């Protein structure tokens, strides 16, 4: 082969290598290509065997062409490797770490249910006034839920229409938290000062009633307790929860287990007493039932009603929550557990 031909072939080989490099995507492939061009069995090595046949005067020029081609290939491969590394680094930075992006808020982190938030807040208010926390079962017997609370045998609450029975004549879902009064008086020594939060059940279902809802029962029994104590405790509670300015009223009422009894209304916080949909145009909203514990109830659990008196109350937690978070259209929202609704109460 003529030396001119060898020189142009070497240049072609280097160009082919440069072209093939443009199609390779990673470093091991580039290194393999480099080895195939420059290795002992590569095209350049084959050509080098012809060097012996080249006349001595041309060898210098042809030798320089060999070195030039090898250098072009080595440099092109090195450059390609460097470029791929730079690209990878850039890709890495883009895929994993872009410090210019705004932070992402963590999702799926749990938080308290709005009714739990309100329930704990109410319990805290009473605990700060010296009340202890007591609990009782949600499945009750007629004795604790009705009989011991002075409900007459033919009271309508005992009807299938109003109460959810687990086993008729035996067990039922408690219709209020008042059975915890009985359980506590049978178990604890006097004086007693407790609040009992928990779920209760009734055959009710509309925008303001759910078949399950939450109450907080209160009971204070000691010597010398009067209706003035009941008023003082409940007024303090309402003022802490709804603010000092809110007006409240004690409205005479009836419960079989308290005498006298009163329901407590607060002035509608939406219309301030003018009358609106929230308060059924009365200007007032009922938030709890209360009264002095009926002597029949005290005697029934072995408490001397001549020496001891007490008061009790039952707060509707759902009602308080609907007032505190204005704009909740239905009590059922609290029980459907739609995460879009619940996430509004994260804190
Ligand atoms: N248990 C009554 C109710 O559910 C509320 C109440 C409790 C009333 C304690 C008086 C005393 O309606």
Question: Can you say whether the dihedral through the CA atoms of 256, 257, 261, 263 is positive or negative?
Answer: negative
Cα–Cα distance measured from residue 104 to residue 255, given in angstroms and rounded to the nearest whole number: 54
Arithmetic mean of pLDDT over the chain = 90
Helix (H, G, I), strand (E, B) or coil at 253: strand
- Stronger pLDDT, 227 or 279, i.e. the higher one: 227
Q: State the distance from the centre of ligand 1 to the C-alpha of 318, rounded, in angstroms.
A: 15
Pocket perturbation via mutation, ligand 1, pick of 179, 257, 293 by most ligand atoms within 8 A of CB: 257
Query: pLDDT class for 1, splitting at 50, 70, 90?
Result: low
Dump pLDDT digits (tens) for 88-107: 788 877 777 777 888 887 77
Where are the domains positioned within the chain?
Answer: 3-96, 114-345
The architecture in CATH of the region 114-345 reads 2-Layer Sandwich (3.30)
The whole-number average pLDDT for the span 180-205 is: 96
Query: 317-324 and 227-242 helices cross at what angle (nearest 10)?
Result: 40
Percent of all residues in the chain with a pLDDT value above 90, rounded to a whole number: 54
Per-residue pLDDT at 87: 82
| CA 313 / ligand 1 centre spacing (Å) | 6
Residue 207 CA to residue 103 CA, distance in Å, equals: 40
pLDDT exceeds cutoff 70 at 24: yes
What are the residues whose beta carbons fall under 8 Å from the beta carbon of 122, sequence distance 6 or more? 195, 197, 216, 237, 241, 315, 317, 320
Q: d(Cα 273, Cα 283) in Å, to the nearest integer? A: 4
Ligand 1 center from residue 13 Cα (angstroms): 98
Check residue 217 and give its pLDDT.
Answer: 98
Which ranges of the chain does DSSP label H, i.e. alpha helix?
Answer: 3-21, 27-38, 43-48, 56-96, 114-128, 142-145, 179-187, 227-242, 295-300, 317-324, 333-336, 339-342
Ligand 1 neighbourhood includes 178 CB (under 6 angstroms) = yes
3 state SS of 191 = coil
Nearest protein CA to atom 7 of ligand 1, as residue: 314
Condensed to tens digits (0 to 9), the pLDDT of residues 117-170 reads 999 999 999 999 999 999 999 999 999 999 999 999 888 878 777 899 999 878
Report for 1-5, 206-210, 240-244: range of highest mean pLDDT: 240-244
Name the residue of 174, 176, 231, 260 to mutate for ligand 1: max ligand atoms within 8 A of Cβ: 176
pLDDT digit string (tens) for 50-59?
Answer: 878 888 888 8
């Amino acid at each position: 082969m003529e030396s001119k031909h060898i020189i142009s072939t070497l240049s072609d080989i280097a160009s082919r290598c440069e072209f093939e490099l443009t199609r390779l995507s990673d470093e091991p492939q580039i290194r393999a290509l480099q080895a195939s061009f420059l290795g002992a069995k590569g095209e350049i090595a084959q050509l080098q065997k012809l060097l012996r046949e080249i006349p001595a005067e041309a060898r210098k020029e042809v030798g320089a062409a060999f070195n030039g081609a090898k250098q072009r290939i080595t440099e092109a491969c090195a450059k390609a490797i460097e470029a791929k590394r730079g690209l990878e680094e850039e890709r890495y930075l883009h895929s994993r770490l872009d410090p210019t992006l705004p932070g992402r808020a963590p999702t799926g982190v749990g938080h308290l249910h709005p009714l739990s938030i309100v329930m704990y807040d109410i319990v805290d208010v009473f605990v700060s006034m010296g009340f202890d926390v007591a609990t009782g079962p949600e499945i009750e017997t007629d004795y604790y839920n009705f009989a011991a609370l002075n409900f007459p045998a033919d009271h309508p609450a005992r009807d299938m229409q109003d109460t959810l029975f687990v086993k008729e004549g035996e067990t039922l879902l408690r219709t209020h938290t008042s059975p915890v009064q009985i359980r506590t008086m049978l178990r604890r020594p006097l004086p007693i000062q407790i609040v009992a939060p928990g779920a209760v059940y009734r055959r009710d279902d509309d925008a303001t009633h759910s078949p399950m809802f939450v109450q907080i029962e209160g009971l204070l029994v000691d010597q010398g307790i009067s209706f003035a104590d009941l008023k003082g405790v409940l007024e303090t509670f309402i003022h802490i929860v709804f603010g000092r300015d809110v007006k409240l009223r004690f409205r005479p009422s009836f419960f079989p287990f308290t005498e006298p009894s009163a329901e407590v209304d607060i002035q509608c916080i939406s219309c301030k007493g003018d009358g609106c949909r929230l308060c059924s145009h009365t200007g007032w909203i009922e938030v709890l039932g209360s009264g002095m514990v009926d002597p029949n109830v005290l005697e029934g659990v072995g408490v001397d009603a001549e020496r001891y008196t007490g008061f009790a109350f039952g707060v509707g937690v759902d009602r308080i929550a609907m007032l505190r978070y204005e704009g909740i259209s239905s009590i059922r929202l609290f029980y459907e557990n739609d995460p879009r609704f619940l996430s509004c109460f994260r804190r």
